[in-house]
Structure 1
């Protein structure tokens, strides 16, 4: 029998039901140009049981409060159809040196006047969520990207999308 202390758990798991400050700042819809490259993976399951993945940027995600996330998807995306059917999704991403996985309950969100993007808007509430990190390694990024030649055009589109998400979220809370 050993008198040595039990080894420390290398994996730190944090369960939450409200967005941590760093995540809320990431999804606040501001300073989009400084957040380019961030990618979140939105997972859904269609009626055939197939997992569908949509890779989303900060221009497609907006957290209007501490427990909600608004999402903009292209209507032809398989994930948009799957979410309309199941109402459930998982969002995975890296932020603040940790891996996050958030289970969301998702519902349609009405569009806003003057929005000609054709995007589908969804509103999700946190069902269960956790972050994971380890003491011996720092997560520095997840899936990342760089904007190419039309980067300014994309940033302008993201700003419009976030404004539409903000308006739709505000209308849903009335």
Structure 2
């Protein structure tokens, strides 16, 4: 392989076990309206070996500290059942021109008070994680969405969900 070919494909890979500052800011539970459209893919493997995916917004994710991630999922989602069986999941997303994949150890998050949403709340801790980018191409988005019709109601629901995640995360760290 020629040197010019090798330099044309320089993969930049960063391994981490704590959220980088830019990602922690993404999952800090603030300015949800400004972050609407962001989508992360939560992957898990069920007992039959099938990969299950839940697409999540910033209204379903909250990082209370540098090593954890709280997640709100619908109980009927196949990924929810798969995570309950295995205690593991991977979160994949594109942010700030990089592709992230975070391997999580996941457990139920106790202490969610006043919740009538029916959601299941989980606490994930980073097992291993990496970010990848290349110099010759800038990732501009991953899976994105646009709120339609009920934007205010969705944003209000997200605010309530993230507040519950924050309270539960605070209670679990005591």
1:100 lines up with 2:100 in the alignment: yes
Counterpart position of 1:113: 113
8 A contact 1:61–1:72 mirrored in 2:
yes
8 A contact 1:40–1:55 mirrored in 2:
yes
Counting only pairs closer than 5 Å after superposition, residues 14-25 of structure 1 correspond to structure 2 as 14-25=14-25
Q: Deviations over 1:56-91 (max 9, x none)?
A: 000000000000000000011111111010000000
Residue 142 of structure 2 aligns to a residue in which SS?
Answer: coil
Counterpart position of 2:72: 72
Q: Deviations over 1:6-61 (max 9, x none)?
A: 94351110000100011000000000000000000000001111100000000000
Change (3 A) 1:43 1:5: closer
1:88 lines up with 2:97 in the alignment: no
In structure 2, stretches of 5+ residues that fail to align are: none
TM-superposed CA distance for 1:105, in Å, is 0.3
Counterpart position of 2:54: 54
Q: CA RMSD in A?
A: 1.4
Counterpart position of 2:125: 125
Matched pairs, number = 172
8 A contact 2:89–2:104 mirrored in 1:
yes
Q: Deviations over 1:82-126 (max 9, x none)?
A: 101000000000011100000000000114221111100000000
- Structure 1 runs of 4+ off > 2 angstroms? 4-9
Q: In 1, distance between residues paired with 2:53 and 2:6?
A: 37
In structure 1, stretches of 5+ residues that fail to align are: none
1:138 lines up with 2:143 in the alignment: no
TM-score by length of structure 1 reads 0.95
